[in-house]
Amino acid sequence: MAHKAVPGSPGVPERHAPTELLDDSEGLHISWTYDGIDRITVRVSGEIDIATIGQLRNTLDGAVGKGIRQLIVDLRDVTFLGSEGLDCLVRVSLGAEATGCHLYTIATQRTVTRPIEITGFAQQLRLRGDAAVPPPSMDD
């Protein structure tokens, strides 16, 4: 397992969080970073469609099952988001909310943001276009 620097807040030193490659099959690549406290960031690249949705669903369900309070799904490197992927994100978001976890989605590619926006799920998925703007602290 590799370690990756996780920037801290102003005045707080950087932490080094473990990063693990979860899946690297053809068409979809998934890795995650755990901040050591209560947030997991899942980075996804490739195409999210019927052939790859199982991998994504298993990863996101597993993350929520760890009892975290924030799940950030980074889709900036996703080139296609099919209806199965959108359905998965919404279902995981609803399931996460039931456990007290909040799902945040980061996406910049129009092929990903457009389906989320036109279906009206941007608010449910807490869609953000800038990874530099972190989700609010759970203490707020």
* Residue 98: half-sphere exposure toward Cβ, Cα within 13 Å: 8
Instruction: Give phi and psi for 53, each to the nearest 5.
Output: -65, -35
Domain chopping of the chain, boundaries:
18-128
Per-residue pLDDT tens digits for 16-61: 444 444 444 568 999 999 988 899 999 999 999 999 999 999 999 9
Per-residue pLDDT tens digits for 58-93: 999 999 999 999 999 999 999 999 999 999 999 999
Q: What is the pTM of this model?
A: 0.78
What is the CATH T-level fold of the domain 18-128, as seen in this structure?
A: Transcription Regulator spoIIAA (3.30.750)
Name the helix (H) or strand (E) containing 61. helix 53-64
Q: CA–CA distance from 50 to each of 69, 88, 98, 115, 129 (Å)?
A: 28, 11, 26, 16, 25
